[in-house]
Structure 1
Amino acid sequence: MAAALTAMTVLVAACGAHEDSGEEPKQVTMDEQQAIDRAEEIIHQAVDGMSPKPTLERTGPETVGPCIARDDHGPDDRRQVTLFYKLTGVPGSEARNLVLQARDAWLKQGYRFNSSDKKDMSGPYPWVSMRTDHDDFWMEGITGVLDRAKGEGIATLKVRSPCFLPAGKSSTATAADPAALEAPQPETPQPGDPGTRRALDLSSRIYDVLRAGSAPTQPGEGLGIVRDGSGVSVHHTWSTRPMPEAGAVQALARARARLGDAGWAVRHVPMGVGVPAVIAIHPREGAVVQLALSATGAVRVAVTTPVGPASVDG
């Protein structure tokens, strides 16, 4: 599931207003290691009592990335922890059961639904979004499709921390653009690397679906390499030209439909600008596509693919 699950730095409005509830985010004090430890704890609360017992397979380009906050274009030194795990070592027919077990385990901990959709949770490929009340971690259980005819899938869990300031940074920083989807200061990938080719190919397909044209490359956009303990990924970010909101909504809907038809696990994520972002995760090949509308009217696109010989269809 993705090496950026699969990430990419991804878009959850954990640093902005919670659009579904109208609540302001809680102010939580923590450092990087505390955020990682807490995220791991939440993952194990979901997994340790599961039956059958899955194997946790870590995915994602980096554990700690930029804070995904409100779209007000202000500077922001805050960081965020995101953990992604595939639940492997069990039959594909158990994926649905594992996601529902994660939901139940989190409910027993007193965590609550961020969003709840009976269709999402009662179907063959359930998805659940939840959050912790006292320290504002957000988590998801996602069922990716492997073989729709046989009802086989793969379960993935994601936990995202609230935003926090690194040691030595001022607490006066303001919020960042949530759709910037910035990678860390990247090293340049090799042009002939299969991961680079896949990232550019996926970006090209998204470009064709959005039908908006591309804007000049902005600071922080382009190709980069991201490394973490799970491997090496290529991260590609770019933006469309600005467009009216109605056109952007239609463009995002086309992209979501196209990715869903190709077997990607696709979700809408609430954002501060009012138009939900889209995150799509490929269940087999370890790729992630993220799309979000900026306050300027541009759609920001981020694609993350693992370095290696695999190929992504769709």
Structure 2
Amino acid sequence: MLVVLGGLGGCARSDSMTDGGSKLTEAQATARVEELIRQVVSGITPKPRMELIPTSLAEHPCIPNEGSALTGEIYVVRSYHLKDLPKDGLSAVAEKIRGNWESAGHKITMTYRFDEGEPRLSGETSDGFGLALDSTVEKELALLVQSPCFRPSTSPSATP
């Protein structure tokens, strides 16, 4: 469904996604993810109706780059479909999101297909949070923000 969202959403453990993240609590990670979402959609006109993608609320175990053993760490994700936007204005909305992200002092790491009206972008914060924006086949935008990996106060149920 979403190339960029799927790539970021897998969250293979990497140094950039774990620096500073290990001291996070789930509540802090969730609050920061939600704050970043509010920042990136601020000032979009017309204001999109944000429809939560329910699977983003599931438990997300971090996957190590090497080996197959889970780390016991998790990450927080929030994904939304941005609804009720003009189908021919998706690139302008993506530019606004890009500008909001960069204005907040964060880095954009990839942009793609803005000229074709099917924008995709990804970015990261200095503290390891990630952003992904992608166009859907329904001519909507899907937005994802995720935390770095951190060790929860109780082990995830998927971890033996």
- Scaled by the length of structure 2, the TM-score of the pair is 0.82
Would the alpha carbon gap of residues 77 and 157 (structure 1) be closer, same or farther in structure 2, given more than 3 Å must change? same
Alignment of 1:103-252 (within 5 A): 103-114=98-109, 116-117=110-111, 119-133=112-126, 135-146=127-138, 153-168=139-154
- In angstroms, what is the RMSD of aligned CA positions? 2.8
Aligned positions, number? 154
State the partner residue of 2:49: 55
Q: Does 1:74 align with 2:60?
A: no
**CA displacement 1:35-59 (0-9 Å, x = unmatched):** 1111111111011211111111100
For residues 110 and 142 of structure 1, the distance between their equivalents in structure 2, rounded to whole angstroms, comes to 21
For residues 126 and 90 of structure 1, the distance between their equivalents in structure 2, rounded to whole angstroms, comes to 13
Would the alpha carbon gap of residues 93 and 121 (structure 1) be closer, same or farther in structure 2, given more than 3 Å must change? closer
How far 1:110 sits from its partner (Å)?
A: 0.6
Indicate conservation of the 8 Å contact 2:11/2:62, yes or no.
Answer: no
How far 1:6 sits from its partner (Å)?
A: 7.7
**CA displacement 1:243-285 (0-9 Å, x = unmatched):** xxxxxxxxxxxxxxxxxxxxxxxxxxxxxxxxxxxxxxxxxxx
Which of these two proteins has the greater Rg computed from alpha carbons? 1
Would the alpha carbon gap of residues 124 and 6 (structure 1) be closer, same or farther in structure 2, given more than 3 Å must change? closer
How far 1:25 sits from its partner (Å)?
A: 4.0
Alignment of 1:11-90 (within 5 A): 11-13=10-12, 15-17=13-15, 25-28=18-21, 29-63=23-57, 64-90=59-85
Would the alpha carbon gap of residues 52 and 83 (structure 1) be closer, same or farther in structure 2, given more than 3 Å must change? same
**CA displacement 1:173-213 (0-9 Å, x = unmatched):** xxxxxxxxxxx66xxxxxxxxxxxxxxxxxxxxxxxxxxxx
Q: Does 1:91 align with 2:86?
A: yes
Q: State the structure with bigger RCO (CA 8 A, min sep 6), 1 or 2.
A: 2
For residues 56 and 131 of structure 2, the distance between their equivalents in structure 1, rounded to whole angstroms, comes to 17
For residues 106 and 139 of structure 1, the distance between their equivalents in structure 2, rounded to whole angstroms, comes to 9
For residues 110 and 6 of structure 1, the distance between their equivalents in structure 2, rounded to whole angstroms, comes to 22
Counterpart residue type for residue 131 of structure 2: M
Indicate conservation of the 8 Å contact 1:57/1:87, yes or no.
Answer: yes
Larger mean CA deviation between 31-40 and 137-146 belongs to: 137-146
- Scaled by the length of structure 1, the TM-score of the pair is 0.44
Indicate conservation of the 8 Å contact 1:96/1:155, yes or no.
Answer: no
How far 1:108 sits from its partner (Å)?
A: 0.3
Counterpart residue type for residue 129 of structure 1: S
For residues 99 and 80 of structure 2, the distance between their equivalents in structure 1, rounded to whole angstroms, comes to 18
**Which is helix-richer, 1 or 2?**
2
State the secondary structure of the residue aligned to 2:136: strand
For residues 79 and 56 of structure 2, the distance between their equivalents in structure 1, rounded to whole angstroms, comes to 10
How far 1:62 sits from its partner (Å)?
A: 4.2
